[in-house]
Amino acid sequence: MHPDIQSKFATYPEHVRPAMLYLRSLMFSVAEEHQLGNVVETLSWGEPSYRVKLGSAVRMDWKPKDPNHYFMFFHCQTKLVDTFRELYSDTLAFQGNRAILLELNRELPDDIIRHCLEMAFTYKNRKYLPLLGM
């Protein structure tokens, strides 16, 4: 983990850090599972950001102003969040067309989050398909 990323994770409260680290591990796991190449991990707008060559970047963060949630952010000009909403509105909560809201005190729906990450990390090959090919 790059020192800048380590520093960012160190700023999260003790009860938040495990959820953020687990979400980070899913980023790498999905990329490896689908053979999507190296994951580039950077800070973007002060938030951990993850990207593979043929995908759209996924950022994540926790905000003190909404202490019960952490977020996965997607580029707002993609069809990603609209597609996630169509597929998973019964399970996931959203913030506009840019984020999935995840609850700290609720079990992460792993399969669904993995699927969302797969769609984001393969976005350049899917962006012209209805519902991103789902």
Residue 129 has pLDDT above 70, yes or no: no
Tokens representing 74? 């997607």
Quick one: residue 57, left, alpha or beta (phi over 0 = left, psi -120 to 50 = alpha)? beta
Mean pLDDT of the chain: 91
Q: Write the CB contacts of 98 (distance below 8 Å, at least 6 apart in sequence).
A: 73, 74, 75, 76, 81
Q: In this structure, how many other beta carbons lie within 10 angstroms of the beta carbon of residue 87?
A: 17
Residue 131 lies in a domain: no
Q: In terms of residue numbers, what domain contains 45?
A: 3-125
SS3 14: coil
Residue 98 lies in a domain: yes
Residue 68 lies in a domain: yes
For 24-69, the pLDDT digits (tens) are 999 999 999 999 999 999 999 999 999 999 899 999 999 999 999 9
Residue 134 lies in a domain: no
Q: Supply the DSSP symbol for 79.
A: S
Residue 132 lies in a domain: no
- pTM for this structure? 0.91
**Domains in the chain, number:** 1
E strand spans, 30-76: 40-44, 47-51, 58-62, 69-74
Look at 16-20, 25-29, 48-52, 125-129 and tell me which has the smallest mean pLDDT: 125-129
Residue 60 lies in a domain: yes
CATH number of the domain where residue 87 is located: 3.90.1150.200
Residue 134 has pLDDT above 70, yes or no: no
